[in-house]
Structures are given as structure tokens and as C-alpha cells.
Chains A and B, each alone.
Chain A
């Protein structure tokens, strides 16, 4: 079966607008993601993780290389690839339900069907009772839930997630990770999830892709052989293979960081 996503010989170079330096973010990156696979991408900060995601989303045209989804070249953003951004990208002037409905509105889905879908996803991400609130009335974790629900409701084939839980508190993050795991299991979507948190990467991924320091390439692909059903933090952390896999990935990342900021 051909891969859902294929990146071949990807290279990206840009000029930092403030320092006017040329930055080689990615060079010679090859990667394949299977249909229905949950792939997490980790790497040292500044290794081009977010650039990679932006290229896949079609928001950044790469300098060189092929980006294929279902064998077709990506030429721009499209609703087959939904994105959950690192910062809160939901619109402040739309209520929770209207934010979640936004993708469906754009697709021209009729009102009644839209309302039903929105209700389902509001429930799925645990926002019942907050439908009429505006984003500024919600906590950070709730806002990111809206963002996840908005992307899910639009029903893309591929979900691209750029450190979506980086700016929520630790407790909420654990809940959101478990929820995302359940959603991945229930929907079977292809997900590419970028993070700098090794534990998160191992907890969520079917495979975990470690990027090298800049210019980013694929340093290693580590399979996580723990069934999705066993992925709650209490079960997961007690699984003997979790510790070993985490240490392995952590070691790979630390080799790239090169000494400083290397404490886990």
C-alpha cells in the first residue's frame, strides 16, 4: 500500500528577516507516514520541526524536494490536511460552537447537519455547557480543545499538530494527551504530531521520528509497541517497554542537543 504521506529529499532554506542570516532548516529529509498511522516528531529546539509541519500543511513552499499526500504533490493548503497550531489559533470573535463549526461552514455543510456535528465534537472534547462562550472566557486547555474539535469536525484525512499542548498546564496536558489517544483510536486518522517532549512523543506515537539538529533530517524512527487501548498514563508508564523506549528516544535526542540543556 502506498504511504499516506511521503517526503522525499526535502530541503528548506530561508532568510531570517531580523538577522538577515540564511538558515538551512531542513536538508535531505525523507519520511513516509502510513494511512491511519500516528507519527510523532521530536528533535532539539530549532531543528525545523515546525517548518516541516508548515511545509506539509502547504503554508510554506519548500526550497527543494517532493511533498506527496496520497501520491499527489502538495501545492498549497487544503482541507484534506487539518492543522492544530501551537498557539491559540481559534478566532476570538466566534463562540466555541461557531469556531468548531467553521470548517463545516466553509465546506457549505447545511445548518442542521452542522449543528449535529458540532454537538458531537463539543461532547467529545468535553466542552458541553461552554458552547456560547467566547475564547477569552476559557482556560488555555479549553481553548486548545476547541482548536482540536474544530480540526476534527472538518473531518480532514490527515491531522497535523504543532506542539498543540505546549502552552497548557501539566495536569490538563495529561488529560488532553489521553483524549487525543482515544480520538486517534476511534477515528483512525493519519496524524503527524510535532513536539519537543519525549515522553509525549512516546506516549502518543505508533512511531516516533527523531530529527537531527539543524539542518534537520530523520535521525531515527523508533517503533512504540504498546497497543492504543493500554495508553493511559497509569497503564502506560507501568509497561516495561515504555521506560526503555523513552530512554532510547531521549538518548537519541540528547546526542543532537550536545550536552547543554540535556537534563530530561
Chain B
């Protein structure tokens, strides 16, 4: 067996054992059904909600919102981060500010945003975009600051104008920072999105698990939680990783 297959077999074994233990606990422990439904009930919820079209719609809503935030974050946050990072004094001034706003997470903003933007799509979008944006600006700024001065000097001695230093050195040099910012931003944004959907209640996975709680539909809650985790793994594997593999990993800027 190749190491890859061995790892896969081991993973499946552990997963199987965990599901077995869960089934056993659900069957033997003296607890009401809604307290700890067995894995089969979660599977049932999956087929049921898929057949009814609820799950695909909610998953699509949540993905739509996070991807929209990712695109706006990149379009807005990266240029801001680049400009701030290029100016020494401005970045010194902005550093604590960005740090501050990055730490006041989207979830902490939600009550205020509900007052300002009401119970609707607008609040969700503002909260998620906010949460994605700040880590992106912050890490793009750090990325620009970490580009070796030597590369800039090398270009200057080749007679490069300022814009050329930006496109050929600062932007590619900041990519590791941008990648970190996108990864962190999306991870925070994903959490903020679930929280916002719970509070605002306009479709999405957060709304689904919060709503299920009112009806003691525990299997649905667990299904929703599982989907939140699975979707993040998928997003990471099919979006973030390939982006990094084609750029910063290819250039030897990060070790794999």
C-alpha cells in the first residue's frame, strides 16, 4: 500500500469507529431521542432536506454570500492594503486602527448593524464583508512591508519607474500576505455569516440550524453543523489551495 492509501484507510477507520461509538451511545444511553439522535437520523435529515430542496437552497445562499464577500474583499481590500503598505508613515498610523477593527469581529458589530440596517439581507452582507475586509487589508499591508528592500533597489538600478516597481515587485511580493489575509478573512467571515444568518433569519445554514432548534429537530442541527465544516474544507481545498499552489508555493515563498 502506498502511504497515501494508508493515510486514507486510517482516516476512514477512525471515522467509522467514531460513527460506531456515536450509534452505540445513541442506542444505549437513557436519553430522549432529540437529545442525541443517531447518525442514521442525520443521514435521514440530509436526504429529506435535499429532496425538499431546502438544503441545496440554503447551502447555495450561504456560499453565495461568502463568495461575494471574498470578491468584494479582494477588489477593495487589496488595493487599500497595497496603498497603505507603500507609504511608511501612513501604515504606521493605520496599523493600530486596522488591528483594532480587525479584533472587533463582525459578530460584535451585529447588534449595531441590526439597528442601522434592519433584519434583512443588508445586515448579513455588511457584517460578512466587514469581517472579510479587515484581515485582508491588514495582511496585504504586512505583505507589502515584508517585501525585501533589495528587490526594490534591484529594479531601481535597472531604471524602473515607480509603477513598474509596484507591478513587478510589490504586488507579487505581497501575495503571501494577501493569501493569508484571504484565508483568515474567509474563515472569520464564514463564522460571522452563520451568526448573522441565525440572528437575521433570511435563509442560509445559520438560519437552518437556529430554526431547527425551536422545533427540537436535533438531527437537522447536526446536519447543518456538519455542512458548515464540510463546506469550509471544500472551499479551502478547491479554491484557496489551488490559488496558493499556482503562485506562492510555485515560487518557493511558502513550504509545502
Contacts and interface: CB of A to CB of B under 8 A. Distances in A.
Interface in A94-110: 102-103, 106-107
Interface string A130-156: 000011110000000000001000100
Contact of B250 (A58, A103, A134, A150): A134
Contacts of B150: 85, 87, 89
A91 B171 CA distance: 12
B117 interface: no
Interface in B140-182: 150-151, 153-160, 164, 168-169, 172-173, 175
Given A77-B156, A81-B157, A103-B158, A89 B151 contact: yes
Contacts of A82: 157-158
B76 interface: no
Contact of B156 (A59, A91, A92, A93): A59
B251 interface: yes
A91 B157 contact: no
B151 A91 contact: yes
Contacts of A77: 153, 156-157, 159
B158 A79 contact: yes
A52 interface: no
B256 to A, nearest CB: 12
A83 interface: yes
Contact of A59 (B151, B153, B168, B169): B153
B251 A83 contact: no
A93 B173 CA distance: 8
B18 interface: no
B252 interface: yes
B27 interface: no
A194 interface: no
Interface string A209-240: 00000000000000000000000000000000
A107 to B, nearest CB: 7
Interface residues of B, number: 21
B108 interface: no
Contacts, number: 66
Contact of A106 (B158, B251, B253): B158
A154 B158 contact: yes
Contacts of B252: 92, 134-137
B250 A83 contact: no
A136 B157 contact: no
Contacts of B169: 91
A107 B151 contact: no
Choose among B151, B173, B247 the residue with the greatest number of A CB atoms under 10 Å from its CB.
B151
Contacts of A59: 153, 156-157
Contact of B251 (A58, A85, A87, A136): A136
Contacts of B164: 106
A76 B158 CA distance: 11
Contacts of B157: 57-59, 77-79, 81-83
Contacts of A85: 150, 153-154
A81 B158 CA distance: 8
Contacts of A90: 154
A93 B251 contact: yes
A91 B153 contact: no
A163 B79 CA distance: 37
Choose among A59, A82, A90, A91 the residue with the greatest number of B CB atoms under 10 Å from its CB.
A91
B212 to A, nearest CB: 48
Contact of A83 (B154, B175, B247): B154
Nearest to B252: A136
B176 to A, nearest CB: 10
A18 B170 CA distance: 26
A57 B155 CA distance: 12
Given A102-B158, A136-B251, 7 more contacts: A57-B157, A85-B150, A89-B153, A92-B252, A93-B247, A106-B159, A135-B252
Which 7 residue pairs of A and B lie closest in terms of their CB atoms, listed nearest first? A136-B252, A79-B159, A89-B154, A77-B156, A93-B172, A83-B157, A103-B158
20 contacts: A57-B157, A59-B153, A77-B153, A78-B157, A79-B157, A79-B159, A82-B157, A83-B157, A85-B150, A89-B151, A91-B151, A91-B154, A91-B169, A91-B172, A102-B155, A103-B159, A107-B159, A134-B252, A135-B252, A137-B252
